[in-house]
Amino acid sequence: MARAENKSKYKKVSVWNWLGTLILCSIPGVRLIALILFIIFAKAQSKRSFAIAMLVLDVLVVALAIAAFLIFPDQLAQFAADLRGGDALLVMPQG
């Protein structure tokens, strides 16, 4: 029996292409620009979907971080001071 060919209008993405994509997305300053360019210019639907998903995830993480800073500012400042090993933001009671 003849095997039916699965002709897709979308281009397949090679392993090397995905590797380059992941390396570009791991560079902080390049990430946003690369994802936007992938959304606009990617010929493969899978790469376009990946870029959209990553941008949605980035927006969600930023929104959660902003919410955390608005809800728990003192606790986060204390945590940052503890990580630095200092007590710059500690208020010591007098007496």
pTM of the model: 0.70
HEC string for the chain: CCCCCCCCCCCCCCHHHHHHHHHHHCCHHHHHHHHHHHHHHCCCHHHHHHHHHHHHHHHHHHHHHHHHHHHCHHHHHHHHHHHHCCCCCCCCCCC
Confidence band, pLDDT 50/70/90 cuts, at residue 8: low
Q: pLDDT tens-digit profile of 76-93?
A: 889 888 898 865 555 556
Q: pLDDT tens-digit profile of 36-57?
A: 999 999 999 999 999 999 999 9
Greatest CA span in the chain, whole angstroms? 91
